[in-house]
Amino acid sequence: MESVEALVAHIQGLSGSADELAQLHGLLKQADGDALRAHPAGPLPFLSHLHPGAHSLGYLYLLDSFVSSSANLRAHAGGDLLVTVADFLTSCSADQIRMAPDKFLNVCRVLKNEVMQLNAPIRGIAPLRAAVRKIQTSSEQLTPLHAEYLMLCLLAKQYKAGLSVLEDDIFEVDQPKDLFLYCYYGSGLTLSNGLWAMIYIGLKKFRKALELLHNAVTAPMSSLNAITVEAYKKYVLVSLIQSGQVPSFPKYTSSTAQRNLKNHTQIYVDLSTCYGTGSYSDLETFIQSNAEAFQTDNNFGLVKQVLSSMYKRNIQRLTQTYLTLSLEDIASSVQLNTPKEAEMHVLRMIEDGEIHATINQKDGMVSFNEDPEQYKSSEMVEHIDSSIQRLMALSKKLTSIDQNISCDHAFLMKAARAASGGVMGGRSYSSSEPDESSSSNSYSFYDSSSHISIGAPSRRRAAKDDDDDDNSDVIFWVLFVGLVLLIAAVWYYYEYERQRTTVVKLQVALLGWAKPFQKELNEIAERVQASNKHSYKFMLTGNVIPKFLRLWVNVKNGADTWEAHFDKLSIKERSKFDEETLYNLEGIKRTKEYSKKLDGSRNEYIVVTILVAAKGALKFPKIRRPADLEAVVEKLNSIPNREIRGVHVLWTPQDENDILSEEKLRADYPNLKPHNDY
């Protein structure tokens, strides 16, 4: 083990060319840890022998070794240590520190923590801004340091300093968490010291704040996180301030966020609903009754801005109804105390370009005007041209990103999974079968009952002394009619159940080592005559699920218009295939070579879906254990051939070289449940 003095000598002599730096990096890795801290005085005294710009890599290792010790930090808190770290971050070589990014990030976080403990966040802003630029490979890259830097800007209330990184267009993200925190802090949230200051919101740039909050809320996620919940709370408040309403979730929002966010932010959803009524007094009452909750969330300041924006929103509504209105009427309509307050609000909205109006102070009248912009000035032409140029540049960038993603190995591995699919089967058509549901038997009992019920009261009464006989006759006929109706109802129900067609979907995910079963499905599909109705039974019994092949199961049955329901289910399942590589439906056969080969991949799962349409009301047990699955399969196999109206068998992957991962299984087949989940 080399001494620290010898290591410093290596740093001084091997900080020139790329080859020397690579050699030095190997030596530093070997000496990292206890070796660097073995000297009684530690590595800090040796930093004076190195230049932070020329010897950045070695300097970084020594500095990281020192600040990684909590004892050293306690002994040298503040003072010279902060100056040393700050000088290093501002003058270090970007090429050298990128060779050890984890150590560089650790030193930066130590600086951030130290200035926060000293309650002097402003001291860390300039060094961390320099650090962000040096760790970035381009201005389009989002790094873990962005969130740390923005946090200091928020704590120091130096919002404009934060704009230096917020105004960059970000296209590269190191970690998903970095994106959440960037959007979170950039739009105004912080997790430290209960301070909820905001950069864009503090600068009244609500539109930009909404963009960042929108990104945090709609970013892909498999489970809900605290950052997204807090971002959505802020999103609701800023949306109300900016536009007076909260937009619905766009279709690309993750299902996790759409299902759960509103449940975790119910008070903010209720606030939005109350805001929509347009009543200032009701909104004020709601806010007062829930003030404690808003204060706990550290959002009460924004909530008060939401309340004050109600005046502006109500004034904007008036412009849609009136051309001229007195200040007194405006004050009364929007619940302001005096016409003078109404005048101040109108003036502020005119200055901000939110309305176009003129105030006649002589008679206290306000005239609402149309937008005076004619969109033909030279300034507007320049603005439109710059927007077009920006969109063209963005289009080129998106095309480049799309090409890079399409060639990315990880993306290809994910996109290629469960792409191939096979389908075989057929169904009968109503036009080719007698329509049993419209036979005379279905209506005969209606005719009979109507005839009897009309004929019964047509008997004419005799003399009054025959009342007892007449009463007996009435009772007899009532009982007779009731009996006939009962028999007709029972017969109708029997006929309805017999003629009814039930559509059943049995879906099973098999363990991937069931290769023989996959091969058997392919062989059956290649030789079966799917156009022959007598083949339906063969396809059904030929695809009996062996008992040992089971993991996830889903059974559904329905009794809607069976042809439409049957086709809808089949199309939905087939749409999950990227490529239908084996097709045999209604006598039409075709095969296609699978275009995405994954050599050496392990086939994790196979999903088999069996659709059956059969006459009668079929009943199936809920599948809670393996025995229930066997009962369902037995029930399907016991259906007589003459009762089967259609069978479709679908399976994925069809190609033996294709794979279906558990992740893809859960995403494409969310209704499938493991046996041990029941």
Instruction: Report d(CA 145, CA 182) in Å as an integer.
Output: 9
Weakest-pLDDT range from 181-185, 358-362, 403-407, 551-555: 551-555
Q: Are residues 464 and 530 in the same domain?
A: no
Instruction: Report d(CA 310, CA 283) in Å as an integer.
Output: 9
The confidence band for 438, taking pLDDT boundaries of 50, 70 and 90, is very low
Q: Are residues 615 and 579 in the same domain?
A: yes
Q: Are residues 424 and 451 in the same domain?
A: no
The confidence band for 121, taking pLDDT boundaries of 50, 70 and 90, is very high
Task: Please give the mean pLDDT across all residues of the chain.
Answer: 76
Instruction: Report d(CA 339, CA 347) in Å as an integer.
Output: 12
Share of the chain above pLDDT 70, in %: 73
Of 507, 504, 609, the C-alpha closest to 565 is 504
Q: Are residues 452 and 548 in the same domain?
A: no
Weakest-pLDDT range from 95-99, 108-112, 609-613: 609-613
Compare 134 and 581 and report the one with higher pLDDT: 134
Of 651, 216, 613, the C-alpha closest to 428 is 613
The confidence band for 268, taking pLDDT boundaries of 50, 70 and 90, is very high
Res 568: pLDDT: 81
Q: Above 60 in pLDDT, residue 269?
A: yes
The confidence band for 542, taking pLDDT boundaries of 50, 70 and 90, is low
Q: Are residues 355 and 396 in the same domain?
A: no
Total tally of structural domains belonging to the chain: 5
**Residue that is last in its domain, among 135, 163, 185:** 135
Domain membership of residue 373 (yes or no) is no
Domain membership of residue 229 (yes or no) is no
Cβ atoms within 10 Å, residue 20 = 13
Q: Are residues 57 and 123 in the same domain?
A: yes
Among the residues of 353-466, which ranges form H helices? 378-406, 409-415, 441-455
Domain that holds residue 461: 436-498
Q: Are residues 544 and 479 in the same domain?
A: no
Q: Above 50 in pLDDT, residue 639?
A: yes
Domain membership of residue 268 (yes or no) is no
Q: Are residues 544 and 646 in the same domain?
A: yes
Domain membership of residue 210 (yes or no) is no
Q: Are residues 103 and 10 in the same domain?
A: yes
- Using one digit for the tens of pLDDT, what is the confidence trace for 529-540? 766 766 666 666
Full-model pTM: 0.55
**Residue that is last in its domain, among 498, 518, 550:** 498
Q: Are residues 552 and 427 in the same domain?
A: yes
Domain membership of residue 580 (yes or no) is yes
Res 436: pLDDT: 41
Q: Are residues 57 and 14 in the same domain?
A: yes
- Using one digit for the tens of pLDDT, what is the confidence trace for 439-468? 333 322 222 222 222 233 333 334 444 444
Q: Above 80 in pLDDT, residue 180?
A: no
Decide if 173 contacts 158 (C-beta within 8 A). Answer: no
The confidence band for 141, taking pLDDT boundaries of 50, 70 and 90, is confident
Weakest-pLDDT range from 92-96, 163-167, 648-652: 163-167
Helices 226-243 and 266-276 sit at what angle, rounded to 10 degrees?
10
The confidence band for 128, taking pLDDT boundaries of 50, 70 and 90, is very high
Domain membership of residue 491 (yes or no) is yes
Weakest-pLDDT range from 46-55, 141-150, 202-211, 415-424: 415-424
Mean pLDDT of 250-254: 86
Instruction: Compute the C-alpha angle 240/245/248, nearest 5°.
Output: 120
**Residue that is last in its domain, among 105, 135, 165:** 135
Res 444: pLDDT: 27
The confidence band for 385, taking pLDDT boundaries of 50, 70 and 90, is very high
Domain membership of residue 232 (yes or no) is no
Q: Above 80 in pLDDT, residue 252?
A: yes
Domain membership of residue 274 (yes or no) is no
Q: Are residues 403 and 517 in the same domain?
A: no
